Amino acid sequence: MSKRYLIRILVLLALAADLSWHYFSVQNSEADNYPNRPITLIVPFGPGGESDTFARMIQKAIADNGFLKQEVVVKNVGGAGATIGSGQARKADPDGYTMLLLHEALITAQASGKVSYGPESFEPIAASGKTNMIIAVAEDSPYQSLAELMNAAKETPNELVFAANLGAPVHYAGLILEKNLPGSHFRYTQKGGGASRFEAVIGGHADVSAFSLGEYISFKEGGLRAVAITSEERHPDAGEIPTAQEQGFQFVHANVHFWWFPKGTDSEKIDLMADVIEKCMATPQVQKQLALRLSEPFVQTGDPMKELLQMRIGKIQSVDATSPDVLPNIPLWVALLTGISFVVFLVSRLLPSSVVERSVSDEESEIARGVRRGYLKTAVSFVMVTALYLLALEYVPVDFRIITAIYMFDVALLCTGFEVDGLKKIVTKSYVPEMIVLVPLIVFFVFQSFFSIQLP
């Protein structure tokens, strides 16, 4: 090994040691005085929906009453049926400074196969708020009742458009309704939070969607009309809305907001935050806001909350939450095209034209074959190193900066070239510094943007 490589390795080891020491020293000091900096609350939907409104209501109650020494900062991370935001929270450090607010979408996303993780990948803190679902159409829709809507979905299957977070509770609502009337089928279109679904319905891009009762109250004046509520009985403050049961559909459901920490968070921090949420739910300001949104001031922590969670998991897993893909599988096509492009590029490098091949001597041909083998080994090595990098980010409990530094060093080694018999070392690329920086960024962009794989 040359002195240059040895110096590089020593520098990287020193950097890794410094990062590790800093990380663990910060962790130890913060554990003694929690919280000593703002807590990020991830809401995996866009602004304006039920979850966002609920989060900001609790955020304000914490600030107004001084329940925490630090503020709670709401961070909206919408997209992919709440899985982008939940993926971010899942990969966050379990230090008590990243929290997730997400209802049954965490369960339905796993049940539908959209993601591999579910509640088992988090620490549940509390369950709070309880609000029924509303099945709603545009004010000028021809469907005056749930029965009329479902009969149309049976007579013209896959024509009525249902706006939903695919793999989330709203999608689950449509699937339950279909199950209640065999032969009925909606055509699902991906829409994010309640505000996006509302815009889709009143804009004529969707025929129907499901909303929380609180969302419906907010959007009603904008042109929504309810055809059913999912409570056992009519809501006393919305008595004009008939239940789904009245209309022959066995669909009783209420959304509950679950609070989550990343897996491995200390139980003391979980208990502290659970106590804060309970205090917020008991304040007059929160109870007043819940009453305006026709939501129950429900809150549970500890074992009762965990029992409720298990009941919800069992209920959702009893229903097939999968449905045929209406849109093409974009990530699959991107992967196929990327693979084909890579193969074409590799073949063009490894198989020169017959004219060039005939024009070289036997010795030159052997050297050319050696060069092609070198390029092939470099390409295979790059794919393997990148695969190991992604697996390490997913499963190795080490600071991602250390893993990325090692990956960048490996890419640098691959860029410096390879040996071919009869020739000095062939440099594959002269832009080594640029490659070191660009390759991790490209990997990050492709996997996060196209495949919704949440790298740090």
pTM for the model stands at 0.62
Contacts 24+ apart (CB under 8 A), 376-384: 376/346, 376/350, 377/418, 378/414, 378/418, 378/428, 379/342, 379/346, 381/414, 382/411, 382/414
Q: Look at residue 360 and tell me whether its pLDDT is greater than 60.
A: no
Give residues with Cβ within 8 angstroms of 173, minimum separation 6.
133, 135, 164, 210, 230, 251, 253
Residue 387 has a pLDDT of 78
> Is the pLDDT at 319 greater than 90, yes or no?
no
In 10 A of CB 63, how many CB atoms? 13
Residue 28: pLDDT over 80: no
Is pLDDT at 428 greater than 90 in this prediction? no
CA angle 408, 403, 425 (to 5 degrees): 30
C-alpha distances (whole Å) from 11 to each of 340, 416, 417 are: 38, 18, 22
Q: What is the average per-residue pLDDT within 409-432? A: 58
pLDDT of residue 278: 96
Confidence of residue 338 (pLDDT cuts 50, 70, 90): low
Q: Three-state SS for 10?
A: helix
The per-residue pLDDT for 65 is 96
Cβ neighbours of residue 218 under 8 Å, at least 6 residues apart?
A: 48, 53, 194, 293
Averaged over 205-230, what is the pLDDT? 92
Q: Which of 88-92, 96-100, 287-291 has the highest mean pLDDT?
A: 96-100
Q: What is the dihedral of CA 337, 338, 341, 343, to 10 degrees?
A: -110
CA distance 308 to 316: 13
For residue 231 the two structure tokens come to 């409570």
Determine contact, residues 293/214, Cβ cutoff 8 Å. Answer: yes
**Cβ atoms of residues 99 and 89 within 8 Å:** yes
For the ranges 165-169, 385-389, 392-396, the lowest mean pLDDT is seen at 392-396
Alpha helices in 123-253 (DSSP H): 146-155, 169-180, 194-202, 213-219
CA distance 289 to 276: 18
The residue ranges of every structural domain in the chain are 1-29, 30-130+255-317, 132-254, 328-450
**The pLDDT of residue 397:** 60
d(CA 436, CA 432): 6
Over residues 243-295, the pLDDT tens digits come to 999 999 988 888 899 999 999 999 999 999 999 999 999 999 999 998 887 88
What's residue 429's pLDDT?
Answer: 45
- Cα separation, 249 vs 301, in Å, equals 32
In this structure, are residues 258 and 44 in contact, taking their beta carbons and an 8 Å threshold? Answer: no
Q: Which pLDDT score, from 0 to 100, does residue 395 have?
A: 65
Q: Is 131 helix (H, G, I), strand (E, B) or coil?
A: strand
**Which residue shows structure tokens 């920490």?**
261
Token couple for 430 = 């002269």
CATH code for the domain defined by 30-130+255-317: 3.40.190.150
C-alpha torsion sign, points 214, 218, 224, 225: positive
CATH topology match: 30-130+255-317 vs 132-254: yes
CA torsion, ordered 421, 422, 427, 428, to nearest 10 deg:
-50
pLDDT in tens, 116-147: 889 999 999 999 998 889 999 999 999 999 99
- Rounded Cα distance between 160 and 178, Å, is 12
Residue the block writes with tokens 């891009």: 205
Phi, psi at 101, each rounded to 5°: -115, 110
What CATH code is assigned to 132-254?
A: 3.40.190.10
Above 80 in pLDDT, residue 83?
yes
Which H, E and C letters describe 285-354, residue by residue?
HHHHHHHHCCCEEEEEEHHHHHHHHHHHHHHHHCCCCCCCCCCCCHHHHHHHHHHHHHHHHHHHHHCCCH
pLDDT for residue 24: 52
Rounded-to-integer distance, Cα 347 and Cα 343, Å: 6
The distance in angstroms from the start CA to the end CA of the chain is 32
Residues 6+ apart with CB under 8 A from 193: 45, 46, 47, 48, 49, 50, 51, 52, 78, 165
